[in-house]
Amino acid sequence: MPFAAAITAATEKVAKEQAERPPTPFDNPSSDEDDDKDYKPKYRDAFGSFGMRSSQTAQDKPPRRPCSTGDDPFTLENLPQDEKEDKACRLEGIHPDKFNGDRSQTTRFLASFNWFMLMNYKADIARDPIMHSIYFLSLLEGPKCEGWVDAADRWLHHIVEDPSMIPRWSNAWKELEKRFKEAFSDYVERERAQDELKKLKMKNNNLDKYLAAFETHALRADIDMNDHTNLRTFALGLP
């Protein structure tokens, strides 16, 4: 058979086979939607999820905004609402040790508590004076504290019922802190710190070291450094 005749015969054979096979969606890309529906069930087994969405994610929800970009840093506003609420309730860091009424630990315990609350200043418990006070009372335990805690608890209940009991310039936590200092101050330590302040002198012209020591003793003595008497004491320690 001549080569040209063989090519012609082969071409006719292929054309005949194509004419005899059933049509597919690929033969007529411009077919309407109704025709396309007829082909999908027939060829689903061959093509898997042919005609289906590539993702199982619900498409009726708007796409989520990226959490962070170079020009739009991640903030609390990017968190879902439940995560925001959890962030507002959760306290982070090491919680202060409990106070058992030992007066020698009063200043250190109160400072530790205030540092912890300052670190969590965005939390609801730090912003609300009543919640702030209740959390503070929960850290007091032991027979030396029980009576004072019970009295403070009753006082807080009265404050909740009648907030006018507190001066306008104050709040529940400030008043409770003041009462705690009055009840558990180590008066012996205060007197000793006051004596050390009077004896303190600056050495080797090291003002930073002298100032740090004065502030430490002033804190232990529970005095106001801006008071004129204490400023005079500070000046007496200078060369």
Tens digits of residue pLDDT in 139-185: 999 999 999 999 999 999 999 999 999 999 999 999 999 999 989 98
Dihedral sign, CA of 113, 115, 229, 227? negative
Average pLDDT, the chain: 76
Together in a domain, 114 and 164: yes
Instruction: Kindly state the average pLDDT of the residues 58-84.
Output: 52
Are 192 and 128 in the same domain? Answer: no
* C-beta separation of 130 from 143 below 8 A: no
Residues 152 and 194 in one domain: no
Residue in the block written with tokens 């608890």:
153
Within-domain flag for 223: yes
- Per the domain annotation, does 70 fall within a domain? no
List the structure tokens of 38: 């007829």
Report the pLDDT value the prediction gives residue 185, as an integer from 0 to 100.
83
- Predicted pLDDT of residue 45: 45
Phi, psi (deg, nearest 5) at residue 140: -100, 130
Tokens representing 74 are 């991640």
pTM exceeding the 0.85 threshold for the entire prediction: no
Alpha-carbon span 72 to 114, nearest angstrom: 34
Residue 41 domain boundaries = 3-46
Q: For residue 59, is it within any domain?
A: no
Same domain, 164 and 119: yes
For residue 66, is it within any domain? Answer: no
